[in-house]
């Protein structure tokens, strides 16, 4: 595909003046775990490991999501299981992520710092699955053969609001057991049922089948705070799912990193990626689901979203780029469509892998964003500029938003946005 060159785009685009920006620090009160290793040990200690025969194998499910201390937590869980006399093996529990291949899922874990060397145990990334049974609605429930061959199963995951739906259960241990451990086959079966019948009910019905037919011991649930640091780590035995996880989800929603604005004209996101969110950028931050039969979140209301880059750890998987309205041709050239389409076709979230309007440079993308707002005045424009949707402790806002930032936000520096050969740069100015 050939995108229009700069000369063609310049001829069609207005060149509106840009507002002054302020770099701000956002620091709301939020709890944090002081001893992550100790909390992880306690979590393992609260699981009913005695259900597993002495010397038995325990499959440890780990996903693709970026969790701040996942390497330390997973390594501690593995070490505690080994010290208790068991034989742990890590099984990627990430559905179709990593291009739905064993090599890709190993690479995804490695990008999170999870290798056989760092974990201290083998990684069995086979994509083979076994069907455990079906729900009362006829949904088949596959599970990784590597997990089912073990004598026990423990999953490790962050409990957080999902990027497709809201309810008493969203992202966490239950979803990892019913979707992530099902590999591509499980993810496809789940999303087909969820689109028709609803996500929470589909998780609950699938969980009944998994707990009845697989040796699930439980899981280690992690709640992160506003700064994406562990706020709580808890071991949850399988019989206590999903009720205990629902409580963790309520806590996670209290700490969820979001912007302190209900509506924006433009949001510029420097990087998106699977390590940031399964949807590339957190839909709870950008206020867009774009999923079939899902009710769109009411807030924030953002007119234009500009995505300027991909994280290194996403390895070209730009699934979620379709949540943006504009991007650059450089980003489009980096996209690994094999991985993206695998995710989109497995989940049914087709629009999230659609390529937005791709322009020659960040300058062109921002000009197009503000130039398509209608009657535009730089002193009234509501723009926010963030690194990614997971890191919201520091970002930039246009002058019109400065009076709305609230007590938890500190204004650090007024800045002028300039472009050097189309690339964005912020220059300090006198306030």
Q: Residue 283 class from Cβ within 10 Å (0-12 exposed, 13-18 middle, 19+ buried)? A: buried
Q: What is the pLDDT of residue 431?
A: 59
CB 234 within 8 A of CB 271: no
Residue 365 lies in a domain: yes
Secondary structure (DSSP) of 103-155: HHHHHHHHHTT--HHHHTS-B-----EEEEEE-TT--EEEEEHHHHTSSEEEE
Could you write out the DSSP letters of every residue in 273-286?
-TTT-TTSS-HHHH
Strands in 87-92's sheet, in edge-to-edge order, are 87-92, 57-62, 152-158, 216-224, 230-237
pLDDT of residue 5: 95
**293, part of any domain:** yes
137 and 277 in a common domain: no
- H helix intervals, 112-260: 116-119, 145-148, 173-178, 183-197, 199-213, 243-255
Place of tokens 């190993």: 106
pLDDT by 10s per residue, the chain, length 431: 899 999 999 999 999 999 999 999 988 888 999 999 999 999 999 999 999 999 999 999 999 877 999 999 999 999 999 999 999 999 999 998 888 999 999 999 999 999 999 999 999 999 999 999 999 999 999 999 999 999 999 999 999 988 777 788 888 999 999 999 999 999 999 988 988 888 899 999 999 999 999 999 999 999 999 888 999 999 999 999 999 999 999 999 989 888 989 999 999 999 999 888 888 999 989 999 887 777 787 789 999 999 999 999 899 999 999 999 999 999 999 999 999 999 898 888 899 999 999 999 999 999 999 999 998 999 999 999 999 998 898 999 999 999 888 778 899 999 999 998 888 999 998 75
Around Cβ 243, how many Cβ atoms within 10 Å? Answer: 11
Residues 294 and 240 in one domain: no
What range defines the domain where residue 361 resides? 6-27+258-428
Burial class (CB in 10 A: 0-12, 13-18, 19+), 151: middle
Query: Which residues have a Cβ under 8 Å from the Cβ of 135 and sit 6 or more positions away?
Result: 141, 193, 202, 205, 206, 208, 209
Q: Based on the structure, what is the number of domains in the chain?
A: 2
DSSP 361: S
CATH of the domain at 89: 3.40.50.11440
Quick one: 146 exposed, middle or buried, by C-beta within 10 A (0-12, 13-18, 19+)?
A: buried
Asked if the structure places residue 341 within a domain, the reply is: yes
Length of the chain (residues) = 431
For residue 1, tell me if it sits in a domain: no
Please give the torsion angle defined by the CA atoms of residues 359, 360, 362 and 367, in that order, rounded to the nearest 10 degrees.
Answer: -60
Q: Would you say the pTM of this structure is higher than 0.85? A: no
State the distance between the two ends of the chain, measured CA to CA, in whole angstroms: 45
């Amino acid at each position: 595909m050939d995108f229009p060159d700069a000369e063609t785009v310049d001829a069609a685009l207005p060149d509106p003046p840009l507002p002054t920006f302020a770099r701000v620090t956002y620091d709301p009160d939020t709890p944090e775990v002081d001893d992550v290793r100790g909390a992880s040990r306690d979590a393992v200690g609260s699981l009913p490991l005695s259900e597993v025969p002495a010397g038995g194998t325990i499959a440890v499910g780990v996903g693709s999501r970026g969790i701040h201390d996942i390497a330390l937590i997973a390594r501690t869980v593995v070490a505690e299981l080994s010290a208790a006399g068991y034989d742990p093996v890590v099984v990627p529990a990430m559905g179709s992520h990593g291009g739905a291949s064993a090599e890709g899922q190993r690479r995804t874990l490695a990008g999170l710092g999870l290798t056989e060397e760092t974990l201290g145990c083998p990684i069995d990334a086979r994509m083979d699955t076994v069907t455990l049974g079906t729900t009362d609605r006829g949904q088949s429930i596959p599970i990784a053969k590597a997990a089912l061959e073990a004598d026990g199963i423990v999953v490790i995951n962050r409990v957080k609001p999902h990027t497709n739906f809201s309810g008493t259960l969203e992202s966490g241990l239950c979803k990892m057991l019913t979707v992530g451990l099902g590999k591509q086959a499980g993810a496809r079966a789940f999303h087909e049922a969820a689109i028709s019948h609803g996500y929470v009910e589909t998780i609950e019905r699938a969980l009944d089948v998994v707990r009845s037919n697989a040796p699930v011991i439980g899981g280690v649930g992690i709640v992160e705070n506003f700064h994406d640091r562990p706020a709580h780590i808890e071991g949850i035995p399988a019989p206590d799912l999903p009720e205990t996880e629902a409580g963790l989800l309520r806590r996670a929603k209290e700490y969820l990193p979001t912007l302190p604005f209900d509506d924006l004209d433009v949001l510029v996101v420097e990087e998106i990626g699977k390590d940031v969110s399964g949807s590339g950028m957190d839909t709870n931050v950008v206020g867009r689901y774009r999923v079939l039969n899902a009710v769109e979140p009411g807030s924030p209301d953002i007119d234009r979203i500009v995505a300027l880059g991909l994280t290194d750890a996403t390895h070209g998987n730009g699934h979620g780029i379709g949540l943006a309205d504009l991007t650059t041709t450089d980003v489009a050239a980096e996209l690994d469509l094999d991985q993206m389409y695998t995710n989109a076709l497995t989940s049914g979230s087709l629009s999230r892998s659609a390529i937005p309007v791709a322009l020659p440079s960040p300058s062109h993308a921002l000009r197009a964003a503000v130039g398509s707002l209608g009657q535009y005045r730089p002193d009234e424009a509501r723009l926010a500029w963030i690194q990614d949707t997971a890191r919201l402790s520091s970002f930039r806002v246009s002058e019109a938003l400065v009076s709305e930032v609230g007590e938890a936000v500190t204004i650090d520096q007024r800045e002028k946005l300039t472009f050097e050969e189309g690339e964005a740069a912020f220059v300090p100015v006198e306030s």
